[in-house]
Amino acid sequence: MPASHATDPTSPSTPYADFYRRSIDEREAFWAEQAQLIDWQQPFEQVCDARNPAFARWFVGGRTNLCHNAVDRHLAERAEQNALICVSSETGAERVYSYRELHAEVQRMAAILLDLGVRKGDRVLIYMPMIAEAAFAMLACVRIGVIHSVVFGGFASHALASRIDDARPALIVTADAGMRAGKVLPYQPLLDEALRLSQHPPKQVLMVNRGLAELHPVPGRDVDYAAARERCLHAQVPCEWLESSEPSYILYTSGTTGKPKGVQRDTGGYAVALAASMRHIYLGEPGQTFFATSDIGWVVGHSYIIYGPLLYGMATLMYEGLPIRPDAGIWWQLVEKYRVSVMFSAPTAARVLKKQDPAYLSRYDLSSLKALFLAGEPLDEPTASWIGAAINKPIIDNYWQTETGWPILALCSGVEPTAVGKIGSPGRAVYGFDVRLIDELTGADITEPNHKGVLAIAGPLPPGCLQTVWGDDERYLKTYWSSIQGRSLYNTFDWGLRDAEGYTFILGRTDDVINVAGHRLGTREIEEAIASHPNVAEVAVVGRADALKGQVAMAFAVLKNPALAASAEQAREQEQALMQIVDAQLGAVARPARVCFVGTLPKTRSGKLLRRAMQAVCEGRDPGDLSTMDDPAVLQQIRDLLG
């Protein structure tokens, strides 16, 4: 059976079904066409080398550059058009850069990096708030063939240190502070601590001073960005032409171990995949404005704040702040002001807005806006209907992962404008993705509709997906390509279900990863942080469904000295102490909603932690078969604690 038959998103011939089939059955011709969406300094010799599907290489022999495609090549046609619009509702700053100005700023930043001795193939770690210099730094890195590793500015010192040690950057680019809800969040104390903890600290730090927090520059280590920029005002730095498979960046994501995985991305495949997705999925139009509300520390920030829109000749709006400050009209006011044509956000943001007066959402002229795309976590029907009605625009769900870099399941309205979604489903398999549903026990393809299975993808993955786990091919193969019974398929670690028309529904993760407000967190990382407290003997963290954030983390700890949490007040103090440890090591984003103290954790007789049973109890569900459980009374204690 040809690969595509297992995944045909629709049986009859529709424009999208034909497009999809071609992407799988005539892979080379299909992607050679899409590759025309970007410039190549040297044409590729082969579209896809898939001899080893897990390590497929796209556009072999072709030479290109992400920064050239995102910036330089637009100068001829749109030098004076908006490229980067930076708005902070926290500081009130608003800066707009045309393509010409962006080109100049990126070259200045590239010249600074080169002056500091950074060279092709080196890593630069970017630990930044949502300011223009973060975008300059990313684009400057890829311009000179330097691999960037952006670390979310909300992560704290341990999380930062583990990423420093894995990526071993030659330099860190950072700022004095971020700001959230009116509160200044100084970065230097976190960075100093991370550098102290790290085994491989870089020698230099480039500091952007926003004037928000006091800086204590370390002589010989810290370089002031403004002064360095002055020296490079007229810099001209040519693009370094990279072979298509040379890496562009590393982006860390959580897995089931405490050690984050560095998703490594190529150059040419990523550029083609993003440019094509702007056209076929995201309704992009060169010259228009794209507004993704994510953060550059996450994959949506990489793909759809920075690279996707710029590769496609659009202006991109980069926003620092909350969706409800100064009021819930702020995003929509920006849509009106900058004539935003496409918006991309997460369901959690829509749920936050749902708590506000809906009048804020209809106060502004949204006539430029074509649609609002939502991704990153399950989109529930009430939220989708509410926001759709409030802004009177199509709401388009799409499903993907840090690993893939662009959608696996979506509607592809750019190919078939009449395509309509189904409530609760992010859509059908996206062109290029040979999506399979797999029987968990046998590893066989599930072909009949409406059966739950593990969502997997047959190799090769389309262009733009992860090439490997940075520095660890073995972990890459073991984690992603060897975890499905007897098959070499890419495992998404999500449960799925497909109906007769190919619409796929996501039913949650198969592993211990949780998704809090669209942010992916490894429960193991949170456990490690809590376990580092001297009074914690053992801890388990599970995700609990939450009406606002999708999921929240719940921690259950066994104390070495339970007497320290004997009274309600002491227990509250212990709980606070453990939450603070998570804040200090990982960042507030990972803080559990509750830490409960238990006498023992629910385990099987062989000592395996029963996470799913704990999660079920947290959510008030039946924990299922407990015959292998050592002591079922433990679950009752958890039930009692949660009241």
For strands 94-98 and 123-127, give the pairing: unpaired
Nearest alpha carbon to residue 402 among 271, 539, 304: 304
| Nearest distance in Å: CB 130, ligand AMP | 17
Q: Which is nearer to ligand AMP, 89 or 348 (CB)?
A: 348
253-292 mask for ligand AMP (x: CB under 6 A)?
A: x---------------------------------------
The residues pairing with 171 across neighbouring beta strands, listed in sequence order, are: 124, 204
Nearest alpha carbon to residue 578 among 603, 554, 609: 554
For strands 550-559 and 594-597, give the pairing: parallel
Contact 286, 313 (CB under 8 A): yes
CA–CA gap between residue 600 and residue 539 (Å, rounded) = 9
Q: Which of residues 576-595 bind ligand AMP (CB under 6 A)?
A: none
CA dihedral 605, 507, 398, 522 (to 10 degrees): -20
Nearest alpha carbon to residue 16 among 441, 315, 427: 427
The amino acid occupying position 126 is: I
Q: Which is nearer to ligand AMP, 345 or 401 (CB)?
A: 401
- Number of residues forming the site for ligand AMP (CB under 6 A): 19
Q: Which is nearer to ligand AMP, 375 or 581 (CB)?
A: 375
Backbone angles phi, psi at 115, to 5 degrees: -60, -30
Residue 85 is a binding residue for ligand AMP (CB under 6 A): no
Residues 6+ apart with CB under 8 A from 535: 559, 560, 561, 564, 574
Contact 98, 80 (CB under 8 A): yes
- Positive or negative, the CA dihedral 56, 61, 67, 72 is negative
Q: Which of residues 21-80 bind ligand AMP (CB under 6 A)?
A: none
Contact 296, 135 (CB under 8 A): yes
The residues pairing with 251 across neighbouring beta strands, listed in sequence order, are: 263
Q: Which is nearer to ligand AMP, 401 or 523 (CB)?
A: 401
Q: Which of residues 518-537 bind ligand AMP (CB under 6 A)?
A: 520
341-380 mask for ligand AMP (x: CB under 6 A)?
A: ----------------------------------xxxxx-
| Nearest distance in Å: CB 376, ligand AMP | 5
Residues 6+ apart with CB under 8 A from 144: 110, 113, 114, 118, 119, 120, 237, 239, 240
For strands 550-559 and 242-243, give the pairing: unpaired
Q: Which is nearer to ligand AMP, 318 or 457 (CB)?
A: 457
At residue 382, the 3 state secondary structure works out as helix
Q: Which of residues 97-126 bind ligand AMP (CB under 6 A)?
A: none
Q: Which is nearer to ligand AMP, 129 or 378 (CB)?
A: 378
| Nearest distance in Å: CB 565, ligand AMP | 33
| Nearest distance in Å: CB 155, ligand AMP | 14
Nearest alpha carbon to residue 520 among 492, 496, 497: 492
Residues 6+ apart with CB under 8 A from 25: 2, 3, 4
Q: Which is nearer to ligand AMP, 543 or 623 (CB)?
A: 543
| Nearest distance in Å: CB 497, ligand AMP | 12
List 504, 515, 585, 637, residue binding ligand AMP (CB under 6 A): 515
List 416, 494, 525, 575, residue binding ligand AMP (CB under 6 A): 494
Q: Which is nearer to ligand AMP, 122 or 403 (CB)?
A: 403
| Nearest distance in Å: CB 520, ligand AMP | 3
**Binding piece for ligand AMP, criterion CB under 6 A, among 279-287, 396-404, 443-451, 531-539:** 396-404
At residue 619, the 3 state secondary structure works out as coil
Q: Which is nearer to ligand AMP, 494 or 528 (CB)?
A: 494
**Binding piece for ligand AMP, criterion CB under 6 A, among 119-127, 394-402, 429-437, 457-465:** 394-402
| Nearest distance in Å: CB 280, ligand AMP | 17
CA–CA gap between residue 403 and residue 254 (Å, rounded) = 11
- Positive or negative, the CA dihedral 3, 5, 7, 9 is positive
Q: Which is nearer to ligand AMP, 455 or 613 (CB)?
A: 455
Q: Which is nearer to ligand AMP, 297 or 313 (CB)?
A: 297
| Nearest distance in Å: CB 510, ligand AMP | 9
Q: Which is nearer to ligand AMP, 300 or 582 (CB)?
A: 300
Say which residue the tokens 């890459």 belong to: 476
397-436 mask for ligand AMP (x: CB under 6 A)?
A: xxx-xx-----------------------x----------
Q: Which is nearer to ligand AMP, 48 or 506 (CB)?
A: 506
Instruction: Kindly tell me the number of DSSP H helices and DSSP E strands found in the chain.
Output: 21, 32
| Nearest distance in Å: CB 299, ligand AMP | 5
Residue 506 is a binding residue for ligand AMP (CB under 6 A): yes
| Nearest distance in Å: CB 614, ligand AMP | 19
| Nearest distance in Å: CB 342, ligand AMP | 17
- Positive or negative, the CA dihedral 213, 215, 221, 225 is positive
Helix, strand, coil proportions of the chain in percent (round to 5)?
A: 35, 25, 40
Crossing angle of helices 523-531/568-585, nearest 10°? 120
Q: Which is nearer to ligand AMP, 158 or 519 (CB)?
A: 519
State the distance between the two ends of the chain, measured CA to CA, in whole angstroms.
54
Is-cis flag, bond preceding 460, omega within 30? yes
CA–CA gap between residue 483 and residue 532 (Å, rounded) = 30
| Nearest distance in Å: CB 609, ligand AMP | 21
| Nearest distance in Å: CB 410, ligand AMP | 9
List 232, 299, 361, 461, residue binding ligand AMP (CB under 6 A): 299
**Binding piece for ligand AMP, criterion CB under 6 A, among 78-86, 352-360, 391-399, 556-564:** 391-399
Q: Which of residues 208-237 bind ligand AMP (CB under 6 A)?
A: none
How many residues would you count in the chain?
A: 643
Q: Which is nearer to ligand AMP, 202 or 376 (CB)?
A: 376
Residue 83 is a binding residue for ligand AMP (CB under 6 A): no
CA–CA gap between residue 58 and residue 50 (Å, rounded) = 8
Q: Which is nearer to ligand AMP, 127 or 344 (CB)?
A: 344
| Nearest distance in Å: CB 304, ligand AMP | 12
Residues at the interface with ligand AMP (CB under 6 A): 253, 299, 375-379, 397-399, 401-402, 426, 492, 494, 506, 509, 515, 520
